[in-house]
Amino acid sequence: MVLAAGQGTRMKSATAKVLHGLCGRPMLGHVLAALAEVGPEHTLVVVGHERDQVTAALAEHAPYAVPVVQEPQNGTGHAVRLALEAAGPTDGAVVVVPGDAPLLTAGTLQRLLARHLETLAAATLLTATMPDPAGYGRVVRDPDGHVTGIVEEKDADERIRQLDEVATSVYVFDAAKLRANLGRLTTENAQGEEYLTDVIGLLVADGDVVASVTADDYRETLGVNDRIQLATARRLMRDRIVEHWMREGVTVTDPQTTWMGVGVRLEPDVTLHQNTQLHGTTTVRRGAVVGPDCTLRDTTVGEGATVVKAHCEGAEIGPNATVGPYTYLRPGTRLGARSKAGAYVEMKAADVGDDSKVPHLSYVGDAVIGERTNIGAATVFVNYDGVEKHQTTVGDDVRVGSDTMLVAPVTVHDGAYTAAGSVITDDVPSGAIGVARERQRNIEGWVERRRAGTKSAEAARRARERDTMAPDTDDDQGADG
């Protein structure tokens, strides 16, 4: 059972608290992923505030989870009672976790379940020793160290508040014991709600076994109630992911400026330099180098490729290809082996063949480029007529001159050239050179006549006078001869 009905007022957001994201998943998604590794027979998620948002997210990302509406929201005990009723007749272990604890791991949940089964307990709770326990319910023990109850901070006296062992809101209950004691809960407390924590005290009073497991690292149990805590959780999750990949053989030169999500996949001997962000389903193959200053989303980087100062989304970068600096690869772009998308190049829905290069200052959109072709600087694939997009095809071993406009739909066939400065509107046959530009005309004296009084006109006047006064050296040499 995942408790995800809270309003989360401190987030100050129209988005349900449990749907705020970190490292590729919403908080609730991280909790469900950890639970899925434990292998529950049924998963129920108690929803309340912004329940339509949460239910829609479950349908998309965790269709196996059953939403249970809590209305009104009358405390954690009330929430669990509704979920237990929705589950129908059940026995065995019931795991209860909060939906706002994204750092919780499957390993800790498995350890909690193992302890529960070993002790045949009525309930087993996960505790943590906090350096600052403010806001958490405190775990109370007897002189022999046995759990005797949990006291919410609002109901605690000063002695109880001095305790640093807290309840993390993560439990395993025996289903029958849980069902019997939920009906005994009252709302006689500071918040006027049914506390799930009170079940622990009831079980102890009845002489039932209540066991506990203390988390190895308290940070794993941290809840998220505002955006400051969300940022803390995000950094901790980032550290966990980055450390995992470093142990798998990835070099991360600056872990503090490297961010990646849970869906990223990296192979050994990848190098990630500073200020690199990897999102979505990005995959980086063996020996590739990414960074510094890169953002990649849903992008595949081939073996041995290099990506520097680039933004890539939905792109495929082939083996030993080079990208950057200051390059933007948009969705549908595919770079072949040993190809190049260089400085200040933007590509969209472009298929670039092996060994072809777009070195600098160009836009390539809706295009297919063959192998061993070179696209000169400042080339623009003019793909949009204001209504529809059109495709340009450039063949193998083509040389496109600098400052060429390729106006789609158009084809430059194998082995063809285009002259620099051309506007190509018709197909260029194989082996031909496409020239589409007027011959240059120089209009003498135009600047002095049309831009009189400018610095350009003054410079032109000085040059004209200098040329007029220069001696005719060729005639002098001729006379001497």
Q: Per the residue annotation, which of 20, 146, 360, 413 is the catalytic one?
A: 360
pLDDT mean across residues, the chain: 95
pLDDT value for 189 = 87
Can you name the residues that pair with 375 across neighbouring β-strands? 400
Question: What CATH code is carried by the domain that includes residue 7?
Answer: 3.90.550.10
Q: Are 304 and 321 in contact (CB under 8 A)?
A: no
Structural domain contains residue 463 = no
Could you tell me the two tokens for 214? Answer: 């203390």
Let me know whether 169 and 261 are in one domain: no
Residue 461 has pLDDT above 60, yes or no: yes
Can you name the residues that pair with 47 across neighbouring β-strands? 4, 69
Structural domain contains residue 216 = yes
Predicted confidence band of residue 473 (pLDDT cuts 50, 70, 90)? low
Contacts for 466 with CB less than 8 Å, ≥ 6 apart = none
Closest CA to 68 of 5, 14, 19: 5
Q: Is the dihedral of CA 176, 180, 186, 187 positive or negative?
A: positive
Q: How far apart are alpha carbons 363 and 39 in whole angstroms?
A: 50
Let me know whether 260 and 151 are in one domain: no
Length of the chain: 481
Local structure of 132: helix, strand or coil = coil
* Number of other CB atoms surrounding residue 468 within 10 Å: 7
The single residue listed with the structure tokens 């469900």 is 32
Let me know whether 81 and 191 are in one domain: yes
Chain segment 179-203, per-residue pLDDT in tens: 999 999 999 888 889 999 999 999 9
Q: How far apart are alpha carbons 157 and 162 in whole angstroms?
A: 9
Chain segment 266-317, per-residue pLDDT in tens: 999 999 999 999 999 999 999 999 999 999 999 999 999 999 999 999 999 9
Tell me, rounded to whole angstroms, the distance of Cα 52 from its chain centroid: 24
Write the DSSP symbol of residue 436. Answer: -
From 176, 202, 221, the end of a domain falls on: 221
Question: What CATH code is carried by the domain that includes residue 406?
Answer: 2.160.10.10
Q: How far apart are alpha carbons 24 and 252 in whole angstroms?
A: 19
The H or E element spanning position 329 is strand 327-329
The single residue listed with the structure tokens 């050296």 is 473
pLDDT value for 285 = 98
From 413, 434, 455, the end of a domain falls on: 434
Kindly state the average pLDDT of the residues 203-209: 95
Residue 479 has pLDDT above 70, yes or no: no
Q: How far apart are alpha carbons 478 and 181 in whole angstroms?
A: 121
Local structure of 195: helix, strand or coil = coil
Chain segment 419-453, per-residue pLDDT in tens: 999 999 999 999 999 999 988 899 999 999 999 99
pLDDT value for 475 = 53
Structural domain contains residue 450 = no
Containing structural domain, residue 213: 2-221
| DSSP string covering 35-83 | HHHH--S--EEEEBTBHHHHHHHHHHH-TTSEEEE-SS---HHHHHHHH
Could you tell me the two tokens for 379? Answer: 């080339």
360 annotated active-site: yes
pLDDT value for 469 = 85
The single residue listed with the structure tokens 């001997």 is 269
pLDDT value for 241 = 98
Structural domain contains residue 111 = yes
Kindly state the average pLDDT of the residues 21-48: 96
Let me know whether 215 and 288 are in one domain: no
Let me know whether 167 and 300 are in one domain: no
Let me know whether 329 and 414 are in one domain: yes
pLDDT value for 61 = 85
Predicted confidence band of residue 472 (pLDDT cuts 50, 70, 90)? low
Could you tell me the two tokens for 411? Answer: 């084809």
Let me know whether 34 and 165 are in one domain: yes
Q: Are 418 and 424 in contact (CB under 8 A)?
A: yes
**pTM over 0.85, yes/no:** yes
Structural domain contains residue 339 = yes
| DSSP string covering 308-321 | -SEEEES-EE-TT-
User: Which is it for strands 165-174 and 93-98: parallel, antiparallel or unpaired?
Assistant: antiparallel
Predicted confidence band of residue 481 (pLDDT cuts 50, 70, 90)? very low
Considering its fold, how many domains does the chain have in total? 2
Local structure of 418: helix, strand or coil = strand
Q: Are 119 and 125 in contact (CB under 8 A)?
A: no
Chain segment 47-103, per-residue pLDDT in tens: 999 999 999 999 988 999 999 999 999 999 999 999 999 999 989 999 999 999 999
Let me know whether 216 and 260 are in one domain: no
Let me know whether 140 and 271 are in one domain: no
Let me know whether 20 and 150 are in one domain: yes
pLDDT value for 104 = 97
Residue 478 has pLDDT above 80, yes or no: no
Contacts for 106 with CB less than 8 Å, ≥ 6 apart = 34, 35, 36, 37, 38
Q: Are 413 and 430 in contact (CB under 8 A)?
A: yes
Chain segment 227-270, per-residue pLDDT in tens: 999 999 999 999 999 999 999 999 999 999 999 999 999 999 99
Let me know whether 407 and 273 are in one domain: yes
Q: Provide φ and ψ at 113, rounded to 5°.
A: -65, -40
Q: How far apart are alpha carbons 311 and 210 in whole angstroms?
A: 53
Percent above pLDDT 70 for the chain:
98
Tell me, rounded to whole angstroms, the distance of Cα 263 from its chain centroid: 8
Let me know whether 165 and 290 are in one domain: no
Chain segment 363-377, per-residue pLDDT in tens: 999 999 999 999 999
The H or E element spanning position 182 is helix 175-182
Structural domain contains residue 176 = yes
Structural domain contains residue 156 = yes
Tell me, rounded to whole angstroms, the distance of Cα 94 from its chain centroid: 33
Residue 14 has pLDDT above 90, yes or no: yes
Burial 144-160 (b: 16+ CB within 10 A, else e): eeebebbbbeebbeeeb
Can you name the residues that pair with 147 across neighbouring β-strands? 141
Kindly state the average pLDDT of the residues 331-357: 98
Structural domain contains residue 401 = yes
